[in-house]
């Protein structure tokens, strides 16, 4: 059963009742809420996600509810509860869906340590993956959103998860979060893509989410090998240029982008170094997305890489 198999009434009853269980990548997330915008977001953006049964083990129990009291009459707010805790300050009620997405990121980044987790987008083609770490504003999510509409499979736009025993990447395809100008840019490049609602004046500016392709969601158990580490940098006027980068420097940058290498300690360091060693590392400067697409299409499989996905 996937979310789109549920009737609107069935979806609502689960969300307000015992919670809707969703298989999100390798995790089971159970969501309980009565907030209509979260329900609409799930119906639109998570329509292809498998529904978990009541008896399945739940990794993350998320609850979103309106803040009670007089405030709800003046400036209604939403609060997030996780295992009975409230780790975030409440947000305006009309930002409930972005809060749902941020909460899920937080749960994974904060609590999942069976994988090395790096703040990066990951896309795959022919069993070989590109990991794209990047500072905010570097154009990582924009590039990712465009490429997954041009033949690449989405693994994540936010949380690259590396499996310790074989160095493969665990997919966790979820809606791609786009901000400000990049929303219109991606709409123009991918007129067929499905978008959720537009959220104005969030803490990250205007935010919209692009639905992951059904194929990416269906293939969430296929773990590709990483082949390229590419650090994108949007530079106005720059031709699309891939420049080989120092692996040692890349290792340091990846450590800075990792949520948990320090928790994983020596094992985390070895995983990082193994990852960098087996990938081709590039800095990527671009301004024109057509040129960027061309560069990615021309990527050649590194010689030193294992060649088959799991």
Residues that bind other proteins (CB under 8 A): 246-249, 251-252, 255, 262, 265-266, 269-270, 273, 276-277
Which residue, 13 or 277, has its beta carbon nearer to other proteins? 277
Cβ 229 to other proteins shortest distance, Å: 12
Cβ 302 to other proteins shortest distance, Å: 13
Q: What are phi and psi of 92, to 5 degrees?
A: -55, 140
Q: What angle do CA 113, 281, 273 make, to 5 degrees?
A: 40
- Is residue 28 within 8 A of residue 21, CB to CB? The reply is yes
CA distances from residue 5 to 9, 37, 51 in whole angstroms, order as listed: 11, 19, 9
Cβ 160 to other proteins shortest distance, Å: 18
Which residue, 161 or 281, has its beta carbon nearer to other proteins? 281
What token pair was written down for 126? 């022919």
Q: Distance between CA 14 and CA 11 in Å, rounded?
A: 5
Which residue, 107 or 117, has its beta carbon nearer to other proteins? 117
Which residue, 194 or 255, has its beta carbon nearer to other proteins? 255
What token pair was written down for 176? 């791609």
- Which helix H or strand E contains 192, and what residues bound it? none
Cβ 254 to other proteins shortest distance, Å: 9
Would you tell me how many other CB atoms lie within 10 Å of the CB of residue 55? 6
Which residue, 250 or 284, has its beta carbon nearer to other proteins? 250
Q: What angle do CA 47, 138, 252 make, to 5 degrees?
A: 105
Cβ 137 to other proteins shortest distance, Å: 24
Cβ 267 to other proteins shortest distance, Å: 10
Which residue, 200 or 248, has its beta carbon nearer to other proteins? 248
- Is residue 62 within 8 A of residue 102, CB to CB? The reply is no
Q: Which residue has the tokens 């409230």?
A: 86
């Amino acid at each position: 059963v996937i979310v789109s198999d549920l009737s609107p009434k069935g979806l609502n009853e689960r969300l307000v009742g015992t919670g809707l269980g969703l298989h999100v990548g390798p995790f089971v997330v159970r969501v309980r809420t009565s907030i209509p915008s979260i329900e609409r977001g799930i119906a639109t953006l998570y329509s292809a996600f498998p529904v978990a049964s009541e008896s399945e083990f739940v990794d993350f129990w998320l609850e979103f509810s309106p803040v009670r009291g007089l405030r709800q009459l003046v400036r209604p707010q939403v609060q997030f509860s996780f295992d009975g805790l409230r780790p975030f300050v409440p947000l305006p009620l009309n930002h409930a869906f972005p809060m749902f997405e941020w909460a899920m990121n937080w749960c994974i980044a904060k609590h999942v340590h069976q994988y090395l987790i790096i703040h990066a987008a990951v896309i795959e083609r022919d069993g070989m993956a590109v990991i794209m770490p990047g500072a905010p504003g570097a154009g990582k999510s924009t590039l990712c959103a465009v490429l997954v509409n041009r033949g690449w499979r989405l693994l994540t736009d936010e949380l690259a998860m590396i499996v310790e025993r074989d160095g493969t990447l665990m997919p966790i395809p979820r809606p791609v979060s786009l901000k400000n100008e990049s929303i219109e840019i991606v709409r123009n490049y991918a007129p067929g893509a499905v978008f959720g609602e537009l959220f104005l004046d969030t803490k990250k500016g205007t935010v919209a989410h692009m639905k992951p392709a059904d194929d990416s969601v269906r293939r969430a158990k296929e773990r590709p090998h990483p082949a390229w580490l590419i650090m994108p940098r949007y530079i106005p006027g720059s031709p699309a240029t891939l420049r080989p980068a120092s692996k040692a420097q890349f290792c340091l940058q990846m450590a800075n982008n990792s949520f948990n290498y320090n928790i994983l300690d020596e094992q985390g360091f070895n995983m990082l170094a193994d990852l960098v060693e087996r990938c081709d590392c590039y800095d990527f400067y671009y301004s024109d997305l057509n040129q960027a697409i061309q560069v990615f299409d021309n990527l050649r499989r590194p010689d030193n890489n294992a060649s088959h996905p799991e």
